[in-house]
Amino acid sequence: MNEINPSGWRPALGAGSVPREIETFTGNRALQLEEALLFEIGAADRSGVDFDDVPDFDLSALGPNARKAAPDLPGLSEPETVRHYTRLSRQNYAIDLGVFPLGSCTMKHNPRLDEKVARMPGFADVHPLQPVQTVQGALSAINELAVWLVKLTGMHGVAMTPKAGAHGELCGLLCIRAALEAKGDPREVILVPESAHGTNPATAAFAGYRVENIPATADGRVDVAALTARLGPDVAGVMITNPNTCGLFERDLKVIADAVHAVGGYVYCDGANFNAIVGRVRPGDLGVDAMHINLHKTFSTPHGGGGPGSGPVVLSEALAPFGPLPFTSRQADGSIKLIEEEDAHLEHPQAFGRLCAFHGQMGMYTRALAYILSHGADGLRQVSGDAVLNANYVLRSLDDVLDAPFGPAGHCMHEALFSDDGFADGFSTLDLAKGLIDEGYHPMTVYFPLVVHGAMLIEPTETESKAGLDQFIGAMRSLAERAVAGDEMLKSAPHLAPRRRLDETLAARKPKLVYKDA
């Protein structure tokens, strides 16, 4: 049984995807077992560990802080615990199971070589408080990665410490603020195009700037005329995503950068989509002053729940002096020095300060460096080429059954964008996304970017084969045809998942965050 369908009757798809009803009394479906909560499986008076007699302790010293009763935590045996988490893992979707089509997220296969390198004892066991002379190998790896990132982007310096993309955005804006303050030039406005990532305006506001939006043109790119018309002495800079959230390359970025520089501002580029241009385009050549790079998107590191992120920020010659501490510096004798506060007055006197306690995520650095070295310059160029090729293959394979708002205007970059225009009345992007779960796939990014109604953003990445993409495309075509035809079964999908469709609006407005025994 489950709370979504308490009767125990759960619709399924039979041969030829013909709807039929099956009866289950346990909630189990074939080898997919229904899983209760730990609180429902275990009990406070049970334990999977045998303890010797535990002496009584005098708790009077704790005063009012002493517990009045034992914590009501579930006790389970070892087999129960292992089975619980194994069953839960089988209800999850992962890149090792199939394509992860989330647009703007670059959910690609992580080479096992990189995982092996990250687990090497010299890297996995390193501690940020070790004396510098005992971690020369780790610091050397950080320094080598930094050199690669500067070369690949055509920039002058790099701040390695930011933990992820939005943290990198903050780093870049703080560099811009420090550079302007050093000139005695206080400015208060950051321009953010509609085609930029959603974190950009939030970061600018957090950094103390007033955000003004710049509209997009009909072809999904920055309206250059509107942007240049707004430039003035109060504009500190522009935050632009390239390739943008519509999956398109901003062809006028150099024109924009020149105009911004002419009025004394700076250009921040959101580099979350660097996967689409690595080895082919150097942002520094386009006039970019700061850009974060998501190591956990472009260079192999597991994305999202796979571990901590990393968002190094490459800086132009104008902004490099204002980058944060600490950073690595190779000395004349070949050793690596970690430049921190005590050395900053000599080697980095204009640094705006620190973003975090230590020098970054070692596991992310080693994975990224292993990825870069194993591919080489030519291999990285092929990475971006294959990513763009796969996205365009998806775009052209679906644009006859799904509306592609910017498809007729030309090719996309690393992600294909569709809308729900043409669906039957009452059917939406959400219905197609939920139907995709029944077909065995994680849904694509939905309702983003906001400039397209009912958006469906698909990023196949470079690691998917043509055969794998053909299967995904076949599922998408079938669902699109059902949405256009008004197949009512699609409105109640998914039917084959461990849980049926949830009321996501109610869940967001009235979340239940604490377990309460009924």
* pLDDT tens for each residue of 313-357: 999 999 999 999 998 888 889 888 888 887 777 778 899 989 988
- Give the pLDDT band (50/70/90) at residue 460: very high
Please tell me which residue, 52 or 491, carries the higher pLDDT value.
491
- Give the pLDDT band (50/70/90) at residue 307: low
CA distances from 232 to 23, 186, 263 (A): 68, 13, 6
What's residue 500's pLDDT? 86
Burial of 297 (0-12, 13-18, 19+ CB in 10 A): buried
Under 8 Å CB-to-CB from 133, ≥6 apart: which residues?
A: none
Distance CA 152, CA 144 (A): 12
pLDDT tens-place string over residues 123-153: 999 998 999 899 999 999 999 999 999 999 9
**Residue ranges of domains in the chain, CATH in brackets:** 113-369 (3.40.640.10), 377-509 (3.90.1150.10)
Identify the weakest region by mean pLDDT among 29-43, 89-103, 250-264, 429-443: 29-43
- Give the pLDDT band (50/70/90) at residue 24: low
**Rounded average pLDDT over 432-438:** 96
What's residue 517's pLDDT? 65
Distance CA 318, CA 264 (A): 11
Average pLDDT of every residue of the chain: 89
Please report, rounded to a whole number, the percentage of residues in the chain having pLDDT higher than 90. 65
- Give the pLDDT band (50/70/90) at residue 12: very low
Please tell me which residue, 68 or 487, carries the higher pLDDT value.
487
The 8-class DSSP code of residue 180 comes to H
What's residue 25's pLDDT? 63
Opening angle at CA 387, ends 479 and 474, nearest 5: 20
Element (H, E) at 259: helix 253-262
Distance CA 335, CA 224 (A): 47
pLDDT tens-place string over residues 380-416: 999 999 999 999 999 999 999 999 999 876 899 999 9
The tokens for 508 are 């967001």
The tokens for 403 are 């509306």
What's residue 55's pLDDT? 80
The 8-class DSSP code of residue 469 comes to H
- Give the pLDDT band (50/70/90) at residue 27: confident
- Give the pLDDT band (50/70/90) at residue 17: very low
The tokens for 57 are 């302790």
Distance CA 478, CA 470 (A): 12
CA distances from 505 to 306, 420, 502 (A): 27, 20, 9
- Give the pLDDT band (50/70/90) at residue 23: low
Please report, rounded to a whole number, the percentage of residues in the chain having pLDDT higher than 70. 94
- Give the pLDDT band (50/70/90) at residue 198: confident
What's residue 342's pLDDT? 75
In this predicted structure, the answer to whether residue 16 has a pLDDT above a threshold of 60 is: no
Identify the weakest region by mean pLDDT among 92-96, 115-119, 227-231: 92-96
CA distances from 473 to 218, 401, 428 (A): 27, 11, 19
What's residue 516's pLDDT? 74
The tokens for 221 are 């790119």
Confirm if 57 and 116 have CB atoms less than 8 A apart.
no
Distance CA 38, CA 72 (A): 12
Q: How many CA atoms lie within 13 A of 503 on its CB side?
A: 8
Q: What is the pTM of this model?
A: 0.88
Distance of CA 44 to the CA centre of its chain: 39
Distance CA 100, CA 444 (A): 8
- Hunting for tokens 């099956």 — which residue is that? 22
What's residue 422's pLDDT? 96
In this predicted structure, the answer to whether residue 476 has a pLDDT above a threshold of 50 is: yes
What's residue 306's pLDDT? 52
- Give the pLDDT band (50/70/90) at residue 76: very high
Of residues 416, 399, 419, the one with CA closest to residue 460: 416
Helix (H, G, I), strand (E, B) or coil at 145: helix
